[in-house]
Homo-oligomer: A and B are copies of this chain.
Amino acid sequence: MPPTITAFANSPDRGKGQARDMRVRWALEEVGQTYDVRLVSFAAMKEPAHLALHPFGQIPTYEDGDLALFESGAIVLHIAERRAGLLPTEPNARARAITWMFAALSTLEPPIVELGMAMLFERDKGWYAERLPMLQDRVRVRLGELSRRLGDADWLDRAFSAGDLMMVTVLRRLNASGLLDAYPDIAAYVARGEARPAFRRAFDAQLAVFKAAPAS
């Protein structure tokens, strides 16, 4: 039995691959692991059956036999630990790749999500125009630091790893913000990730769910 993951029945991003199941799909494709998908509605995500799997009522989850996990970072790490393709075997390089996973989730994603939430939910507020540049600047600080570290390398630490997978998916959340225009090296890095065959397969799979979904 292949593992089963959960994803949105009606993706709020309309199939742009920005929901967090994309990270898990991409990781599974990179390591060549087939998987099943169970689609969950927004209402069902807050029902006891799903909350037993995911205490915070979100997607994705991951079920494999007796094991049930949540949190895209933990799921990607679990996949990367079990099959070759996402983590170096040399112990120090492996630890550094995992460090980039945490950097993507703990240092880059929070200000990016905060900016995205404000753009979604506070656009009509009187304070929006004054707060927006502050939120953008917090993201730009991180992008500048990331750009300096990346330099002219293809990936964050030599070979492509789960750290790059996580960083690219986090940076893709900026697609609609225009902020990446000022960082052509980071935009090229994201494009390199998106060009990987495993990314394309994962992207097409999540897009197919959106296209097949009834209009909500």
Binding site for B on A (CB under 8 A): 51, 55-58, 66-67, 69-75, 77-78, 92, 95-96, 98-99, 101-103, 105-107, 109-110, 113-114, 125-127, 130-131, 142, 145-146, 148-149
CB distance from A43 to the nearest CB of B (A): 16
Residues of B within 8 A of A126 (CB): 126-127
| A78-B95 CB under 8 A given contacts A71-B103, A71-B106, A73-B106 | yes
How many identical chains are in the complex?
2
Residues of B within 8 A of A105 (CB): 73, 102, 105-106
Residues of B within 8 A of A107 (CB): 56, 58, 71
When chains A and B are docked, how far (Å) is the Cα of A57 from the Cα of B146? Answer: 11
Residues of B within 8 A of A95 (CB): 67, 69, 74, 78
Cβ B103 vs Cβ A114 within 8 A: no
When chains A and B are docked, how far (Å) is the Cα of A142 from the Cα of B57? Answer: 10
Q: Does more than half of chain A's interface fall in helix, strand or loop, or is it mixed?
A: helix
B51, B56, B69: the one contacting A142 at CB < 8 Å is B56
CB distance from A56 to the nearest CB of B (A): 5
Residues of B within 8 A of A99 (CB): 69-71, 74-75
Cβ B127 vs Cβ A70 within 8 A: no
Cβ B125 vs Cβ A101 within 8 A: no
| A106-B103 CB under 8 A given contacts A69-B96, A92-B67 | no
CB distance from A151 to the nearest CB of B (A): 11
Residues of B within 8 A of A102 (CB): 71-74, 77, 105
